[in-house]
Amino acid sequence: MPRLLSASRSLGGLLCLGLLVAPASAHEVEVSGDVGGTLHVEPHDNPQAGRTSQVWISLTRRGGEILPLAQCNCQLAVYSEPHTEASSPVIRPPLKAISTGQYQGIPGAEIVFPKQGEYELELSGTPKAGANFRPFELSFPVTVATGAATSAAKPATPSPSTNSNSSEGAEPQQAAQQSSPSTSQWRNPAIILVMILVIGLLWTGTRRLKR
Protein backbone atom coordinates (compact mmCIF):
# COMPACT_ATOMS: atom_id res chain seq x y z
CA MET A 1 0.00 0.00 0.00
CA PRO A 2 2.75 2.57 0.80
CA ARG A 3 4.47 1.64 -2.48
CA LEU A 4 1.18 2.28 -4.36
CA LEU A 5 0.78 5.70 -2.71
CA SER A 6 4.41 6.56 -3.49
CA ALA A 7 3.98 5.55 -7.13
CA SER A 8 0.78 7.57 -7.47
CA ARG A 9 2.48 10.63 -5.95
CA SER A 10 5.42 10.29 -8.37
CA LEU A 11 3.04 10.00 -11.33
CA GLY A 12 1.11 13.04 -10.14
CA GLY A 13 4.33 15.01 -9.82
CA LEU A 14 5.35 14.11 -13.38
CA LEU A 15 1.95 15.17 -14.71
CA CYS A 16 2.15 18.52 -12.95
CA LEU A 17 5.68 19.05 -14.27
CA GLY A 18 4.50 18.25 -17.78
CA LEU A 19 1.66 20.78 -17.52
CA LEU A 20 4.13 23.44 -16.40
CA VAL A 21 6.75 22.71 -19.05
CA ALA A 22 4.39 22.46 -22.05
CA PRO A 23 3.17 26.08 -22.00
CA ALA A 24 6.69 27.31 -21.25
CA SER A 25 8.09 25.59 -24.37
CA ALA A 26 5.21 26.87 -26.51
CA HIS A 27 5.67 30.45 -25.28
CA GLU A 28 9.38 30.66 -24.65
CA VAL A 29 10.69 34.08 -23.64
CA GLU A 30 13.73 35.33 -25.57
CA VAL A 31 15.87 38.17 -24.25
CA SER A 32 18.21 40.49 -26.13
CA GLY A 33 19.81 43.42 -24.31
CA ASP A 34 17.10 45.07 -22.21
CA VAL A 35 14.19 43.77 -24.34
CA GLY A 36 12.35 40.48 -23.95
CA GLY A 37 9.80 38.93 -26.28
CA THR A 38 7.34 36.05 -26.30
CA LEU A 39 6.11 34.57 -29.57
CA HIS A 40 2.45 33.63 -30.06
CA VAL A 41 1.12 31.83 -33.12
CA GLU A 42 -2.51 31.26 -33.98
CA PRO A 43 -4.22 28.94 -34.39
CA HIS A 44 -3.24 27.29 -31.10
CA ASP A 45 0.53 27.62 -31.61
CA ASN A 46 0.23 25.00 -34.34
CA PRO A 47 0.87 26.66 -37.72
CA GLN A 48 0.11 24.65 -40.85
CA ALA A 49 1.76 24.92 -44.24
CA GLY A 50 -0.15 26.84 -46.88
CA ARG A 51 -2.53 28.43 -44.37
CA THR A 52 -2.47 31.89 -42.86
CA SER A 53 -1.08 32.04 -39.34
CA GLN A 54 -1.50 35.07 -37.10
CA VAL A 55 1.80 35.80 -35.36
CA TRP A 56 2.55 38.40 -32.71
CA ILE A 57 5.41 39.07 -30.33
CA SER A 58 4.69 40.55 -26.91
CA LEU A 59 7.67 42.84 -26.34
CA THR A 60 8.55 44.09 -22.88
CA ARG A 61 11.39 46.17 -21.55
CA ARG A 62 13.31 45.35 -18.42
CA GLY A 63 10.93 45.84 -15.53
CA GLY A 64 7.86 44.60 -17.43
CA GLU A 65 7.00 47.75 -19.40
CA ILE A 66 5.30 46.93 -22.71
CA LEU A 67 7.25 47.99 -25.81
CA PRO A 68 4.76 48.89 -28.58
CA LEU A 69 5.51 48.84 -32.30
CA ALA A 70 5.03 52.62 -32.43
CA GLN A 71 8.31 53.03 -30.51
CA CYS A 72 10.29 50.47 -32.50
CA ASN A 73 11.76 50.25 -35.99
CA CYS A 74 11.04 46.53 -36.09
CA GLN A 75 11.57 44.02 -38.89
CA LEU A 76 10.52 40.37 -39.03
CA ALA A 77 12.28 37.73 -41.13
CA VAL A 78 11.35 34.06 -41.55
CA TYR A 79 14.13 31.56 -42.30
CA SER A 80 13.86 27.92 -43.27
CA GLU A 81 15.99 25.72 -41.05
CA PRO A 82 18.83 25.02 -41.16
CA HIS A 83 20.16 28.39 -42.31
CA THR A 84 23.36 30.40 -42.10
CA GLU A 85 24.09 34.10 -41.71
CA ALA A 86 24.33 34.33 -45.50
CA SER A 87 20.92 32.73 -46.05
CA SER A 88 18.09 34.88 -47.36
CA PRO A 89 14.74 34.81 -45.55
CA VAL A 90 11.94 32.94 -47.27
CA ILE A 91 9.45 35.58 -46.09
CA ARG A 92 9.68 39.17 -44.87
CA PRO A 93 6.13 39.77 -43.65
CA PRO A 94 5.10 43.37 -42.98
CA LEU A 95 4.45 44.16 -39.35
CA LYS A 96 1.37 45.87 -37.99
CA ALA A 97 0.37 46.92 -34.50
CA ILE A 98 -2.17 44.63 -32.86
CA SER A 99 -3.73 44.49 -29.41
CA THR A 100 -4.51 41.36 -27.46
CA GLY A 101 -5.29 41.16 -23.77
CA GLN A 102 -2.97 43.38 -21.77
CA TYR A 103 -0.64 43.90 -24.72
CA GLN A 104 -1.58 46.97 -26.74
CA GLY A 105 0.02 47.91 -30.07
CA ILE A 106 2.59 45.10 -30.12
CA PRO A 107 4.12 43.92 -33.43
CA GLY A 108 2.19 41.26 -35.33
CA ALA A 109 2.00 39.79 -38.83
CA GLU A 110 0.16 37.30 -41.00
CA ILE A 111 2.41 34.53 -42.32
CA VAL A 112 1.79 31.74 -44.82
CA PHE A 113 4.52 29.14 -44.37
CA PRO A 114 5.21 27.56 -47.78
CA LYS A 115 5.77 23.99 -46.55
CA GLN A 116 6.04 21.91 -43.43
CA GLY A 117 9.28 21.81 -41.47
CA GLU A 118 11.40 23.84 -39.10
CA TYR A 119 11.61 27.62 -39.32
CA GLU A 120 13.18 30.44 -37.36
CA LEU A 121 11.53 33.82 -36.87
CA GLU A 122 13.91 36.70 -36.25
CA LEU A 123 12.59 39.99 -34.94
CA SER A 124 15.07 42.86 -34.90
CA GLY A 125 14.45 46.40 -33.75
CA THR A 126 15.99 49.78 -33.03
CA PRO A 127 14.44 52.62 -31.01
CA LYS A 128 12.49 55.35 -32.75
CA ALA A 129 12.92 58.98 -31.79
CA GLY A 130 11.96 59.44 -28.15
CA ALA A 131 12.20 55.73 -27.27
CA ASN A 132 14.86 54.47 -24.91
CA PHE A 133 16.03 50.88 -25.33
CA ARG A 134 19.00 49.13 -26.86
CA PRO A 135 18.82 47.55 -30.35
CA PHE A 136 17.77 43.92 -30.12
CA GLU A 137 17.42 40.75 -32.17
CA LEU A 138 15.16 37.95 -30.99
CA SER A 139 15.00 34.47 -32.54
CA PHE A 140 12.12 32.03 -32.16
CA PRO A 141 12.01 28.44 -33.46
CA VAL A 142 8.74 27.39 -35.11
CA THR A 143 7.60 23.94 -36.26
CA VAL A 144 5.10 23.97 -39.14
CA ALA A 145 2.81 20.98 -39.62
CA THR A 146 1.39 19.60 -42.84
CA GLY A 147 -1.44 21.67 -44.22
CA ALA A 148 -2.84 22.87 -47.50
CA ALA A 149 -0.27 22.23 -50.20
CA THR A 150 1.04 25.30 -51.97
CA SER A 151 1.71 24.92 -55.66
CA ALA A 152 2.35 27.20 -58.59
CA ALA A 153 -0.73 28.36 -60.39
CA LYS A 154 -1.55 26.17 -63.40
CA PRO A 155 -2.30 27.82 -66.74
CA ALA A 156 -6.01 28.27 -67.13
CA THR A 157 -7.64 26.03 -69.73
CA PRO A 158 -10.36 27.50 -71.89
CA SER A 159 -13.79 26.77 -70.47
CA PRO A 160 -16.66 25.55 -72.63
CA SER A 161 -18.32 28.95 -72.27
CA THR A 162 -15.15 30.62 -73.55
CA ASN A 163 -15.04 28.31 -76.55
CA SER A 164 -18.69 28.89 -77.29
CA ASN A 165 -18.20 32.62 -77.08
CA SER A 166 -15.26 32.48 -79.44
CA SER A 167 -17.23 30.35 -81.88
CA GLU A 168 -20.15 32.73 -81.63
CA GLY A 169 -17.80 35.62 -82.29
CA ALA A 170 -16.34 33.80 -85.30
CA GLU A 171 -19.75 33.14 -86.88
CA PRO A 172 -20.63 36.86 -87.34
CA GLN A 173 -17.18 37.41 -88.83
CA GLN A 174 -17.71 34.57 -91.24
CA ALA A 175 -21.16 35.92 -92.03
CA ALA A 176 -19.71 39.36 -92.65
CA GLN A 177 -17.07 37.87 -94.92
CA GLN A 178 -19.71 35.91 -96.78
CA SER A 179 -21.91 38.99 -97.16
CA SER A 180 -19.07 41.16 -98.44
CA PRO A 181 -19.00 39.59 -101.95
CA SER A 182 -22.74 40.26 -102.40
CA THR A 183 -22.18 43.86 -101.30
CA SER A 184 -19.40 44.29 -103.83
CA GLN A 185 -21.67 42.78 -106.46
CA TRP A 186 -24.23 45.53 -105.83
CA ARG A 187 -21.63 48.31 -105.88
CA ASN A 188 -20.76 47.99 -109.60
CA PRO A 189 -24.37 48.31 -110.95
CA ALA A 190 -24.95 51.30 -108.70
CA ILE A 191 -21.87 53.07 -110.06
CA ILE A 192 -22.96 52.32 -113.63
CA LEU A 193 -26.44 53.67 -112.93
CA VAL A 194 -25.01 56.92 -111.54
CA MET A 195 -22.77 57.32 -114.57
CA ILE A 196 -25.73 56.80 -116.91
CA LEU A 197 -27.73 59.46 -115.07
CA VAL A 198 -24.84 61.94 -115.22
CA ILE A 199 -24.33 61.31 -118.95
CA GLY A 200 -28.05 61.71 -119.55
CA LEU A 201 -28.16 65.01 -117.74
CA LEU A 202 -25.14 66.30 -119.64
CA TRP A 203 -26.61 65.24 -122.97
CA THR A 204 -29.96 66.90 -122.16
CA GLY A 205 -28.16 70.10 -121.17
CA THR A 206 -26.13 70.26 -124.38
CA ARG A 207 -29.26 69.80 -126.55
CA ARG A 208 -30.99 72.70 -124.82
CA LEU A 209 -27.97 74.92 -125.40
CA LYS A 210 -27.94 74.09 -129.13
CA ARG A 211 -31.60 75.13 -129.47
Domain range annotation of the chain: 27-144, 182-211
Each residue's pLDDT tens digit, 26-82: 567 899 999 999 999 998 899 999 999 999 999 999 888 999 999 999 999 999 999
Task: Provide mean pLDDT across the span 102-127.
Answer: 95
- Predicted confidence (pLDDT) at residue 180 exceeds the cutoff of 70: no
Q: Are 106 and 125 in contact (CB under 8 A)?
A: no
Distance CA 99, CA 66 (A): 12
pLDDT band at 147 (very low <50, low <70, confident <90, very high): confident
Q: What is the mean pLDDT of residues 118-142?
A: 95
What is each CA distance from 44 to 48, 115, 120, 200, 210, in whole angstroms?
11, 18, 18, 98, 111
Residue 110: pLDDT band by 50, 70, 90 thresholds? Answer: very high
For residue 3, pLDDT beyond 60: no
Predicted confidence (pLDDT) at residue 159 exceeds the cutoff of 70: no
What local confidence, expressed as pLDDT, does residue 63 receive? 87
Q: How far apart are CA 189 and CA 200, in angstroms?
A: 16
CATH number of 27-144: 2.60.40.1930
What does pTM read for this prediction?
A: 0.58
DSSP the chain: -HHHHHHHHHHHHHHHHHHHHHHHHHT-EEEETTEEEEEEEETTT--BTTSEEEEEEEEEETTS-B--GGGEEEEEEEEESS--TTPPPSB-PPPEEEEETTEEEEEEEEEE-SSSEEEEEEEEEEEPTT-----EEEEEEEEEB--SPP-PPPPPPPPHHHHHHHHHHHHHHHHHHHHHHHHHHHHHHHHHHHHHHHHHHHHHHHHHHH-
Mean pLDDT, rounded, for 131-149: 89
Query: What would the pLDDT profile of 186-211 be if each residue is shown by its tens digit?
Result: 445 556 666 777 676 766 665 665 55
